[in-house]
Structure 1
Amino acid sequence: MQLQLISFVWIILHCMDYTGCQQHSSSRHRTHKLMTGASSGCQQGGCLTCSDYNGCLSCRPRFFMHLERIGMKQIGVCMTSCPPGFYGTRSPERNTCTKCRSECDSCFNKNFCTRCRAGFYLHLGKCQESCPDGMVHSEAQRECVPRCPEECESCGTSETCTRCRPGLYQLSGRCHHVCPDDYEPNDKLMECTLQVHCKVGEWSDWSPCFKSGRTCGFKRGQETRTRQVLQYPSPFGKPCPEISEIKDCLVKRRKCPGGRRKADRNGRRNRNNRKDKESQEVRRERKRDREAVERDDSDNRNKTEHRHRRGHDTDTVAPEDRAVQ
């Protein structure tokens, strides 16, 4: 009986020694894995130390530690930037991701929101349920925006329009019924655009004195000069001035080379033209006279025939009819 009791105590002591050894070995192995980052849950490039159960325990420089909740468990993740709804804070010990305020979708720090969640509107870094006086909320932007002036359809500030109401013209953030001086309406863009005035160059030299395309054979003629248009005006800009001028000139008469024969030919040509015109007019006058005479002859013939018919009718009346009459 005593031998059995001694054997049982020896077995228990042996098992306790074996368990302690195992625990010591396991602790040394786990410490080795934490220091070297060899754990299967520490495969990220940003982890410095980690564990199978808690993920990353520390991060490399410039990485942020972010705790992701999975059920009742939190897993450490090292990230180059914090996810939406969190902001990053840096310190010599560690860089961490901190959750934004409850009304913020994203934030720069705990006191400055950059986007609000539904039902709140951003104004000066704060998410508010209602906007201050002079501003209205924008559902699309989730922001407080300025109340536009009456002539604006949309605006950037309370004094700057980005789009005008129909029929108004935009200029420098304001809407106009009539464009100010030096501007003109552009109906295609519905904007006031700067007027463009005409610009012309310098006058050319006066041409030689000429007459009827000739520069000789006359005493009084004309000279001309011109200038070019450098910039044409816009529809409401100042129009262009005259770009050509003509003035009378007086020169000493000189004969053109071979001018007498040419003048004679021109004179004969002009006389022939006048004769042709006169002949045509005479022929037209004679034709009108002939037509008038023919009409008169036709009228006379008609009258004569009418009288003859009346006389013939009188001669054929019976004597007794004449007596009765």
Structure 2
Amino acid sequence: MDYTGGQQHSSSRHRQHKQISGVSPGCQQGGCLTCSDYNGCLSCKPRFFIHLERIGMKQIGVCLTSCPPGFYGTRSPERNTCTKCRSECDSCFNKNFCTRCRAGFYLHLGKCQEHCPEGLVRSDTQRECVPKCPAECESCVNGETCTQCRPGLYQLSGRCHHVCPEDYEPNDKLMECTAQVHCEVGEWSEWSPCSRSGRTCGFKRGQETRTRLVLQYPSPFGSPCPEISEIKECVVKRRKCPGGRRKNERRERRNRNNRKDKENPEGRRERKRERERDTAEREDSDNRNKTEHRHRRGHDTNPTSPADGLVQ
């Protein structure tokens, strides 16, 4: 009997040693504070949650920094634990507030329901009760505010429009009604000095100009810009340009000839022929002068002939 009792006592101490040493996979986790080879973690280090994982018929304790989906964490001075959400919840914040429902249930105000309240419809993709949108909305916040319009419609302030309201224009890229931008221009400049063909002298009647800058260009449907330059006739006391009498005379003569050419094409052709004849005569004269000059130069440079020597 004594031997048997001694053997039983030795076996009990062996089991106790294994429990303390912790050789199971659960005990090897860094979050465990105490553990056993059969039940895994028995307690966790501060800020860790203890979670029971079922393996067959057995539950193993593990320590986690956050609870897995379908569970929510509760903290207490004694221990932090992972608690399972309600059966209709896929995930939850606490036992009374679901954040996502399992298939067949729809989330509304933290509750998972099989049927949505009046004015809301079920969304199978979101598993939520969502507002019933107006016919022209693709999606909405409520029955009056759209977040996306159906194709071909333009959104403005939560509503969808076939035609944008006054003072707005359609933006086909954003599919929105955007505010029209109208042209804005600055003040007129001073009138320029009276001039004619770029000159400010040698004439009596000329023109003055003034301009203004565009401060804001319009949008496609905005009010276009008005004229940004103006020209008016002006009259000045005629005066001659200093040092430019001959130049002005040549310019006036050309202008007279141009006017005559326009009025009398035949006279223009006759003057052209005269100019060509004058040019040809000048070229002939130049050629004769060059020829005579070469003859004279050649005669002066020739050596004395033998005949001239005999005469001497």
Q: Same fold (TM over 0.5)?
A: yes
**Alpha-carbon deviation of 1:189?**
2.6
Distance 1:270 1:251 in 2: 21
Distance 2:265 2:38 in 1: 124
The gaps in structure 1 that reach 5 residues or longer are 1-12, 284-325
Deviations 1:122-174 (A, max 9, x none): 11111111111111111111111110012212223322212212332111221
Question: What letter corresponds to residue 139 of structure 2 in structure 1?
Answer: S
* Equivalent position of 1:244 in the other structure: 229
Distance 1:59 1:262 in 2: 108
Matching residue within 48, 53, 56 for 2:33:
48
Distance 1:268 1:217 in 2: 14
* Equivalent position of 1:144 in the other structure: 129
Distance 2:258 2:234 in 1: 30
* Equivalent position of 1:29 in the other structure: 17
Residues 24 and 146 from structure 1, CA distance in 2 versus in 1: closer, same or farther, beyond 3 angstroms?
Answer: closer
* Equivalent position of 1:61 in the other structure: 46
* Equivalent position of 1:158 in the other structure: 143
Residues 223 and 52 from structure 1, CA distance in 2 versus in 1: closer, same or farther, beyond 3 angstroms?
Answer: same
Distance 1:259 1:29 in 2: 124
Kept in 2: contact 1:195–1:236 (CA 8 A): yes
Kept in 2: contact 1:100–1:106 (CA 8 A): yes
Kept in 2: contact 1:217–1:259 (CA 8 A): no
* Equivalent position of 1:314 in the other structure: none
* Equivalent position of 1:93 in the other structure: 78
* Equivalent position of 2:286 in the other structure: none
Q: Tell me, yes or no, if structure 1 residue 214 matches structure 2 residue 199.
A: yes
Distance 1:277 1:126 in 2: 96
Residue correspondences, number: 268
Distance 1:43 1:229 in 2: 77
SS of aligned partner of 2:7: helix
**Alpha-carbon deviation of 1:28?**
5.2
TM-score (normalised: structure 1): 0.76
Greater Cα shift, 124-133 or 165-174: 165-174
Residues 145 and 269 from structure 1, CA distance in 2 versus in 1: closer, same or farther, beyond 3 angstroms?
Answer: same
Residues 105 and 174 from structure 1, CA distance in 2 versus in 1: closer, same or farther, beyond 3 angstroms?
Answer: same
Greater Cα shift, 194-203 or 113-122: 194-203
* Equivalent position of 1:126 in the other structure: 111
Distance 2:141 2:110 in 1: 18
**Alpha-carbon deviation of 1:20?**
4.2
Kept in 1: contact 2:182–2:223 (CA 8 A): yes
* Equivalent position of 2:253 in the other structure: 268
* Equivalent position of 1:205 in the other structure: 190
* Equivalent position of 2:23 in the other structure: 39
Distance 1:176 1:24 in 2: 83
Q: Tell me, yes or no, if structure 1 residue 15 matches structure 2 residue 7.
A: no
**Alpha-carbon deviation of 1:57?**
0.5
Runs of at least 4 residues off by over 6 Å: none
TM-score (normalised: structure 2): 0.79
Distance 2:244 2:229 in 1: 30
SS of aligned partner of 1:83: coil
Residues 69 and 24 from structure 1, CA distance in 2 versus in 1: closer, same or farther, beyond 3 angstroms?
Answer: closer
* Equivalent position of 1:320 in the other structure: none
Distance 2:158 2:246 in 1: 77
The gaps in structure 2 that reach 5 residues or longer are 269-312
Question: What letter corresponds to residue 225 of structure 2 in structure 1?
Answer: C
Residues 272 and 134 from structure 1, CA distance in 2 versus in 1: closer, same or farther, beyond 3 angstroms?
Answer: same
State the percentage of identical aligned residues. 79
Kept in 2: contact 1:201–1:229 (CA 8 A): yes
Question: What letter corresponds to residue 39 of structure 1 in structure 2?
Answer: V
Deviations 1:27-66 (A, max 9, x none): 6535xx53xx543441111111000111111111101111
**Alpha-carbon deviation of 1:106?**
0.5
Question: What letter corresponds to residue 23 of structure 2 in structure 1?
Answer: S
Residues 252 and 14 from structure 1, CA distance in 2 versus in 1: closer, same or farther, beyond 3 angstroms?
Answer: same
What is the root-mean-square deviation in Å for CA atoms of aligned residues? 2.3
* Equivalent position of 1:229 in the other structure: 214
Greater Cα shift, 77-86 or 218-227: 218-227
Greater Cα shift, 13-22 or 179-188: 13-22
Residues 20 and 266 from structure 1, CA distance in 2 versus in 1: closer, same or farther, beyond 3 angstroms?
Answer: closer
SS of aligned partner of 1:157: coil
Residues 53 and 28 from structure 1, CA distance in 2 versus in 1: closer, same or farther, beyond 3 angstroms?
Answer: closer
